[in-house]
Amino acid sequence: IRFGLGAIRNVGKSALDSVLGVRADGAFTSLFDLTRRVDLRICNKRVLEALIGAGALDALGGHRAQLCAALDVAISESALEQLERETGQVSLFGDEMNATGHVPSLNASLPVIPPWADDQRLAREKEILGFYISGHPLEPFRTEVELFGTHTVSQLGGWSDQPIVLGVVVTGIKKQTSKRTGAEFARLTVEDFSGSCEVTVFPEAWTLLGARIRADVPVLLKGGYPKRDQGSDTPTFIVDTVTPFAELRATGSVGVLLDLSVDAKLPADVIGDIRDAVALHAGSAPIEVRWNDGNGTQARLRSRSLKVSVTSASLQSLRALLGQARVKLIRGS
């Protein structure tokens, strides 16, 4: 995906010209090489933070959390070198140095810290670019979107008397006050893999749901169209309930299906390995086992005692034992 640097929030034309001007002399090799070469009076910390958050510096080594953490050191060292370069200060060996005899260390390593969580990285992209670019907050819950959703956002717009369930992420919250009653309500911008749209939360529901609705958090949204909008070209979608997908997983609404059919040619001790994996990742999701002997005899059994947490770690452990296609998410109840 190509995206113009000039469209990144907080990166103005002067900063852009500075980056492109020195970039013409050769590719940047690291964050420290970048800060050493650009004009830091124009490409200040705010500009560089925006470039990091947008992913524009991903090719310079390290991850975004490391680049942000190293930024203060890179800027201070580079600013000092640029000042000394302008004043003509050099060491006896030809190296630029400051008044105390210190030669700036511009090859410093990046700090050893964990990367940003996916939701933090994506939220910064959305803030700076106006959209997600390296992923989507709904991606970890794609299966639940398909399991529980009745429609996609792109399918909305036509009036229906049936309840509608959407798997979405809220990307915008606009609170308003009713002119008639003075009560607060909200208009939400929601987005899924198919597009985005605006939905409305009436005052009574907003009083109950307001604290549960947060930007960039994947949710299962239930609602529908009011009868008064029947025949309207632009009916208003009204939200009734909102449930975070993480909550669905934690309450057992999502289960795990294990396919142990004989055609899988699984090792004899795989059942013990499955028990160990489930014990390690115990949780609230019910486990259902599917079995097929290859001759037409089939069975589906749900464990009464074993339950597992639905996390990336637990699913990876089970899929490492059985294979990707033999571990699936299902409705828990």
> 255-272: per-residue pLDDT in tens?
999 998 877 678 888 889
Greatest mean pLDDT among 15-19, 197-201, 212-216, 247-251 lies in 197-201
Nearest to 63 by CA among 134, 139, 164: 134
Bridging pattern class, strands 282-292 and 254-259: parallel
Higher pLDDT among residues 276 and 292, named by residue:
276
192 contacts 127 by C-beta, under 8 angstroms:
no
How many CB atoms lie under 10 A from the CB of residue 322? Answer: 19
211 contacts 227 by C-beta, under 8 angstroms:
no
| Whole-number Å distance between alpha carbons of 264 and 283 | 26
Please tell me what DSSP assigns to residue 8: S
**What pLDDT does residue 2 have?**
59
Question: Which pLDDT band holds residue 12 (cuts at 50, 70, 90)?
Answer: confident
> 203-258: per-residue pLDDT in tens?
999 999 999 899 889 999 999 999 999 999 999 999 999 999 999 988 889 999 99
Model confidence at 306: pLDDT above 60: yes
226 contacts 233 by C-beta, under 8 angstroms:
no
pTM of the model: 0.74
Which residues, listed in sequence order, are joined to residue 172 by a DSSP beta bridge?
A: 189
How many CB atoms lie under 10 A from the CB of residue 62? Answer: 20
Higher pLDDT among residues 87 and 320, named by residue:
320
> 60-81: per-residue pLDDT in tens?
989 999 999 999 999 998 988 8
Model confidence at 133: pLDDT above 60: yes
Average pLDDT for 281-285:
92
User: Residue 272 carries which side chain, given as an amino acid letter?
Assistant: G
**What pLDDT does residue 193 have?**
93
**What pLDDT does residue 107 have?**
53
Euclidean distance between the first and the last CA atom of the chain, given in angstroms as a whole number: 40
Quote the mean pLDDT of the chain. Answer: 88
| Whole-number Å distance between alpha carbons of 308 and 249 | 10
Greatest mean pLDDT among 20-29, 233-242, 243-252, 302-311 lies in 233-242
How many helical (H) and strand (E) elements, i.e. helices and strands, does the chain have? 10, 9
Nearest to 63 by CA among 16, 110, 27: 110
Angle of helix 312-322 relative to helix 270-280, nearest 10 degrees, comes to: 180
